[in-house]
């Protein structure tokens, strides 16, 4: 499993590392560009997410039709071009165009869907944890070295590094990533967005993913600007002292959260705890005048974010049927990237017209409503999978297979297997075989 998952996780992590290198410092550096205002800086911080939101669903759907690898290559090329434009921008508007292009390479949902194709659902929790861990490591590296490199060599150097990382990702795609199996599902209609949104569990996960990512850009607009303001008077090169310990503690919290959420099947409880930490973090960052207490708020934010991160994509892939995975992950990521853009833009706007105390309280109120909504979430049903050689199955019997404890079945054409997804606590393998074998 590791050999299947790690190359894809590495591609996504290289791309994220490029974004994370810039994220902790872009707001303070962008303020120095020609034409910059707090509002436009907020648009730049979240700008890549707007085009991500627009292109996630088309990329996810395209990957379902033409294949994952060609879609990934196309997205990485677009990301490379956007990074180069950002690197050589001299005004806020050119930087904004480059950020929009970076986001147009919307490959996140494609990679997650590809992992779902390659890994059996029973092992998908570990696969998503590996992906989440590699992203978290990229997050930690970005938080630690981004401010240092940016302070010494300028933000342009960070975008050049980002472009180089995207080239490495392309090389990995064609040298290490296996081709996913061909899956033929039992559904004759195309995946419909309305079906996905009508599923209460998928809708809840889409909202959770969107809120988590939206709060991320709010934080990364506010944290560097506040710490380098006259109130706290930090130097730009000192920002790593806030980010690095927060990220390390977030990484430590991620492990127990993933175990409790996945193995104990209690993701709802982890999400609720994380939301409470989000509420506390923004109240602390909004109301304190002490830099040490402010950093405690930053730590609370990172712990909350990292507790959620390895669970969100996994839950979406569990709730979605096999023919919906690309589209469901595309919709979820589209919404999350839109809220990422919205969070950065609104944070910049409110810095223009309000103060951080009001922003902190406002975010805490919104997160409280989010907490109340999430109380409706259900923990996923535990399913098992029966794998039967295709030649031993009576296809007429299979076509008519219906049972309240059978979620779905599909054909792995690459390995010539029939896969039946069922509730193990309510049904025996022998009962299923009796219904479908020749």
- Report if residue 155 sits inside a domain: yes
For residue 187, pLDDT beyond 70:
no
In terms of C-beta density within 10 A (0-12 exposed, 13-18 middle, 19 or more buried), how is residue 60 classed? buried
Backbone angles phi, psi at 84, to 5 degrees: -65, -40
Question: What is the pLDDT, as a whole number, of residue 326?
Answer: 65
Is the same domain home to 284 and 175? Answer: yes
Q: Stretch 71-83: mean pLDDT, rounded?
A: 93
Which one, of 58, 431, 388, 364, lies nearest residue 211 by Cα? 364
What CA–CA distance (Å, rounded) separates 371 from 320?
23
Residues with Cβ within 8 Å of 51's Cβ and at least 6 positions away in sequence, in order, are: 100, 101, 102, 103, 104, 106
Is the same domain home to 185 and 287? Answer: yes
Is the same domain home to 329 and 394? Answer: no
What range does the domain containing 85 cover?
2-374
- Report if residue 322 sits inside a domain: yes
In terms of C-beta density within 10 A (0-12 exposed, 13-18 middle, 19 or more buried), how is residue 188 classed? exposed
Is the same domain home to 363 and 402? Answer: no
CATH of the domain at 238: 1.20.1250.20
Q: What is the pLDDT of residues 15-64, one digit of tens each?
A: 888 888 888 888 888 888 888 888 898 889 888 888 887 887 788 778 87
Q: Stretch 395-411: mean pLDDT, rounded?
A: 77
Q: Stretch 399-424: mean pLDDT, rounded?
A: 78
Strand order of the β-sheet with 406-412 is: 183-185, 406-412, 417-422, 384-389
Q: What is the pLDDT of residues 140-177, one digit of tens each?
A: 788 778 888 887 888 889 999 999 999 999 999 888 88
Q: What is the pLDDT of residues 257-294, one digit of tens each?
A: 888 887 788 999 999 999 999 999 999 999 999 999 99
- Report if residue 27 sits inside a domain: yes
β-pair partners for 419: 387, 410
Is the same domain home to 280 and 427? Answer: no
For the stretch 96-105, what's the b/e string if a residue is b when 16 or more beta carbons lie within 10 angstroms of its beta carbon? bebbbbbbbb
Sign of CA dihedral 121, 122, 124, 125: positive
DSSP string, 118-182: HS-HHHHHHHHHHHHHHHHHHHHHHHHHHHHHHHHH-HHHHHHHHHHHHHHHHHHHHHTPPPPPP
What CA–CA distance (Å, rounded) separates 224 from 236?
8
Sign of CA dihedral 12, 14, 18, 24: positive
**Alpha-carbon distances of 372 from 200, 212, 358, 377, rounded to whole Å:** 15, 15, 22, 10
Are the beta carbons of 44 and 349 closer than 8 angstroms?
Answer: no
For residue 410, pLDDT beyond 60:
yes
Let me know the angle formed at the C-alpha of 24 by 22 and 25, rounded to the nearest 5 degrees. 70
Question: What is the pLDDT, as a whole number, of residue 4?
Answer: 76
**Alpha-carbon distances of 53 from 13, 105, 420, rounded to whole Å:** 19, 11, 33
Residue labelled with tokens 């904004």:
96
Q: What is the three-class DSSP state of 80? A: helix
Are the beta carbons of 8 and 177 closer than 8 angstroms?
Answer: yes
- Report if residue 353 sits inside a domain: yes
For residue 191, pLDDT beyond 60:
no
Are the beta carbons of 68 and 180 closer than 8 angstroms?
Answer: yes
What CA–CA distance (Å, rounded) separates 235 from 237?
5
**Beta-carbon count within 10 A of 277 CB:** 22
Q: What is the pLDDT of residues 357-376, one digit of tens each?
A: 999 999 999 999 999 999 98
Is the same domain home to 311 and 392? Answer: no
374, 397, 414: which is the final residue of a domain?
374
Structure tokens at 137: 């490591």
- Report if residue 166 sits inside a domain: yes
Is the same domain home to 37 and 181? Answer: yes
Question: What is the pLDDT, as a whole number, of residue 275?
Answer: 97
Can you give the pTM of this predicted structure?
0.75
348, 374, 400: which is the final residue of a domain?
374
328, 355, 374: which is the final residue of a domain?
374
Structure tokens at 4: 């299947």
Is the same domain home to 340 and 431? Answer: no
- Report if residue 89 sits inside a domain: yes
Is the same domain home to 139 and 176? Answer: yes
Let me know the angle formed at the C-alpha of 426 by 425 and 428, rounded to the nearest 5 degrees. 90
β-pair partners for 384: 422
Question: What is the pLDDT, as a whole number, of residue 374?
Answer: 93
Share of the chain above pLDDT 90, in %: 27
Is the same domain home to 232 and 366? Answer: yes
What CA–CA distance (Å, rounded) separates 182 from 68?
11
What CA–CA distance (Å, rounded) separates 317 from 330?
11
Torsion of CA 4, 5, 9, 12, to 10 degrees: 60
Q: Stretch 169-195: mean pLDDT, rounded?
A: 71
Are the beta carbons of 329 and 112 closer than 8 angstroms?
Answer: yes
Phi-psi region of 229 (alpha: psi -120 to 50; beta: other; left: phi over 0): beta
- Number of domains comprising the chain: 2
Confidence of residue 188 (pLDDT cuts 50, 70, 90): very low
- Report if residue 81 sits inside a domain: yes
What CA–CA distance (Å, rounded) separates 399 from 330?
29
Is the same domain home to 310 and 343? Answer: yes
What CA–CA distance (Å, rounded) separates 421 from 177?
26
- Report if residue 249 sits inside a domain: yes
Is the same domain home to 370 and 388? Answer: no
Average pLDDT, the chain: 84
Element (H, E) at 335: helix 325-353
Question: What is the pLDDT, as a whole number, of residue 394?
Answer: 84
Confidence of residue 184 (pLDDT cuts 50, 70, 90): low
For residue 241, pLDDT beyond 70:
yes
């Amino acid at each position: 499993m590791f050999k299947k998952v790690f190359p894809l996780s590495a591609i996504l992590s290289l791309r994220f590392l490029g974004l994370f290198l810039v994220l902790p410092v872009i707001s303070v550096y962008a303020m120095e560009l020609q034409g910059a205002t707090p509002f436009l800086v907020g648009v730049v911080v979240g700008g890549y997410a707007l085009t991500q939101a627009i292109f996630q669903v088309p990329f996810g759907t395209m990957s379902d039709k033409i294949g994952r690898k060609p879609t990934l290559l196309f997205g990485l090329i677009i990301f490379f071009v956007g990074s180069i434009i950002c690197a050589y921008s001299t005004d806020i508007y050119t930087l904004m165009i480059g950020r929009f292009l970076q986001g147009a390479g919307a490959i996140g949902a494609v990679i997650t869907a590809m992992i779902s194709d390659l890994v059996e659902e029973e092992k998908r929790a570990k696969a998503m944890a590996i992906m989440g861990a590699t992203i978290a490591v990229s997050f930690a590296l970005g938080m630690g070295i981004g401010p240092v490199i940016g302070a010494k060599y300028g933000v342009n150097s960070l975008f050049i590094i980002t472009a180089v990382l995207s080239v490495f990702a392309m090389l990995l795609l064609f040298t290490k990533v296996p081709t996913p199996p061909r899956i033929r599902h039992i559904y004759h209609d195309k995946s419909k967005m309305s079906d996905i949104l009508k599923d209460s569990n998928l809708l809840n996960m889409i909202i959770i993913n969107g809120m988590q990512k939206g709060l991320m850009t709010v934080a990364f607009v506010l944290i560097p600007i506040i710490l380098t303001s006259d109130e706290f008077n930090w130097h730009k090169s000192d920002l790593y002292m806030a980010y690095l310990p927060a990220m390390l503690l977030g990484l430590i919290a991620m492990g127990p959260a993933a175990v409790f959420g996945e193995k104990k099947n209690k993701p709802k409880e982890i999400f609720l705890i994380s939301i409470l930490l989000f509420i506390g973090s923004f109240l602390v960052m909004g109301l304190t005048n002490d830099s040490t207490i402010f950093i405690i708020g930053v730590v609370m934010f990172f712990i909350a974010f990292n507790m959620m991160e390895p669970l969100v994509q996994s839950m979406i892939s569990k709730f979605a049927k096999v023919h919906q995975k690309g589209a469901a992950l595309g919709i979820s990521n589209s919404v999350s990237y839109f809220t990422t853009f919205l969070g950065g833009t609104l944070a910049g706007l409110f810095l223009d017209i309000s103060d951080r105390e009001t922003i902190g309280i406002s975010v805490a109120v919104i997160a409280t409503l989010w907490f109340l909504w999430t109380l409706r979430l259900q923990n996923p049903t535990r399913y098992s999978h029966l794998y039967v050689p295709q030649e031993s199955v009576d296809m007429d019997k299979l076509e008519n297979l219906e049972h309240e404890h059978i979620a779905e079945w599909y054909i792995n054409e690459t390995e010539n297997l029939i896969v039946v997804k069922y509730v193990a606590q309510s049904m025996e393998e022998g009962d299923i075989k009796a219904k479908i074998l020749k």
